[in-house]
Amino acid sequence: MNTLPTVLAFDVFGTVVDWHGSIASEVTRLGLQVNPDAFATAWRQGYRPAMAKVRSGALPWTKIDDLHRLILNDVLDDFNIQGLSENQIHHLNLVWHRLNPWPDTVTGLNRLKKQFTLVTLSNGNLGLLANMAKNAALPWDLILSAEVFRHYKPDPETYLGVAQIFDIEPSAVMLVAAHKDDLASAYECGLKTAFIERPLEFGAKVTRTDLHVETYINYHAKDFIDLADQLGT
Amino acid sequence: MNTLPTVLAFDVFGTVVDWHGSIASEVTRLGLQVNPDAFATAWRQGYRPAMAKVRSGALPWTKIDDLHRLILNDVLDDFNIQGLSENQIHHLNLVWHRLNPWPDTVTGLNRLKKQFTLVTLSNGNLGLLANMAKNAALPWDLILSAEVFRHYKPDPETYLGVAQIFDIEPSAVMLVAAHKDDLASAYECGLKTAFIERPLEFGAKVTRTDLHVETYINYHAKDFIDLADQLGT
């Protein structure tokens, strides 16, 4: 466990970018008559059930842009929001391409990039992740997505796929994520693991209660700067 | 035809990097008793027949690293090179991960990146392209490969796949390549096209005779600086 990995694979939504704050801001900017926190939370809550339908085969392969739109249609209904044009709804759906990084993200990634190969391992689709990276100056060496593997996390094909892409052992890959279930699944596949706390992931009103140390987590860091410090970069 | 594309998709071997010169240098450095030009040419000549076997279904999906190794084994035999260890052969095979960019490549790409989304569209596998980009500081917004589409160029799935990834029309994508057959295939799929001359692609001893203007080529440029000038970036 003391050997360092060569590839760091990053979960993106919540770990690298602040989906909750970015969506709440967009909703506020649009002047929608809703609670921005509740709207952001509701949109994100549709995400796992939608992916579960793809993972179980109930839906054919569907990329996240399209799942986000299906969920958004329901959320707009649920919040009784009317009067948006198709163009406005389409633009709102693409807010996931414009999510803001956390304050430490770009500095931390640029430090880590000097020593490690940095890749994404996200359920977001390739176009979304590429647009996000260009918009937010995220210095990925390679953007990998569920779309490449045609499997959503936590299917093992995703974690093991990163190692196969680079022709290295799973233990030479470390998943970096703010979500323990993701890390536990990666650990079961033989990857190393780094947890990032991200206390504001679900908004300032929600206190995360899952920030304690776990046996399956190799590095527990406050943010990417702290992780770079711990890894000696 | 006057509207500019939003995504530039680059062929890589020969267009972005100098495979012939890089391989010849590696062979010279290794002290192999062969003509470095002939060795580089022979290795590359095995590439199309090997991919054709995958495209026809005679071989199952095989990534370029593995095709390169199959060809290399034959080339080492043909040139009667003996005495290399498995580690040395493996390292030599990975020279494709370490190919050098042309002198204008990095400056040109960084200029183009200010206005366009830059992606690769290469038959090289993702790990190869990521290692190459990190080694040579190639500033891709997204690395796309035949490996993503499970089709090798010139299958239409590759050219059309770029447009699908970004949810844009094929005409909003421009293929940038030093090979006219690649450009002709992209043009048939509705993409825009830019030809880059690369007169030294096959070594200093081979004079390219295919540098004239073609009706299916939208931009004809000497190098990436010239292309950036023509595109006004």
- Number of residues assigned to chain B: 233
At B76, phi and psi to the nearest 5? Answer: -60, -40
Residue spans of chain A under pLDDT 70: 1-2
CB-based contact A142 B130, cutoff 8 Å = yes
Residue B172 reports pLDDT greater than 60: yes
Q: Read off the pLDDT of each residue in B64-84 and give the average, rounded to a whole number.
A: 95
From chain B, the residues in CB contact with A9 under 8 A are none
- The pLDDT assigned to B2 comes to 66
**ipTM of the prediction greater than 0.85, yes or no:** yes
Helix (H) or strand (E) holding A102: none
Interior CA angle at B124 toward B120 and B127, to 5°? 90
Residue B1 reports pLDDT greater than 70: no
CB-based contact B166 A142, cutoff 8 Å = no
Q: Read off the pLDDT of each residue in B218-231 and give the average, rounded to a whole number.
A: 98
From chain B, the residues in CB contact with A97 under 8 A are none
Which domains, from first to last, does chain A contain? Answer: 7-18+100-231 (3.40.50.1000), 19-97 (1.10.150.240)
| DSSP string across B25-78 | HHHHHHT-SS-HHHHHHHHHHTHHHHHHHHHHTSS----HHHHHHHHHHHHHHH
Mutating which of A165, A169, A173 best tests the B interface, going by the most B Cβ atoms within 10 A? A165
Contact B42, B78 (CB under 8 A): yes
- The CA distance from A127 to B211, in Å, is 34
From chain A, the residues in CB contact with B142 under 8 A are 126, 129-130, 133, 143
Strands (DSSP E) contained in chain B are 7-10, 117-122, 142-145, 173-177, 192-196, 219-221
pLDDT tens-digit readout, A126-146: 999 999 999 999 999 999 999
Q: Read off the pLDDT of each residue in B119-138 and give the average, rounded to a whole number.
A: 98
At A13, phi and psi to the nearest 5? Answer: -65, 110
SS3 B188: helix
Q: Which residues contact B57 (CB under 8 A, 6 or more apart)?
A: none
Q: Which residues contact B52 (CB under 8 A, 6 or more apart)?
A: none
Alpha-carbon Rg for chain A, nearest whole angstrom, is: 17
CB-based contact B65 A130, cutoff 8 Å = no
Residue B96 reports pLDDT greater than 80: yes
Question: A-side interface with B, Cβ within 8 Å?
Answer: 65, 117, 119, 125-127, 129-131, 133-134, 141-144, 147-148, 165-167
- The pLDDT assigned to A91 comes to 97
- The pLDDT assigned to B136 comes to 98
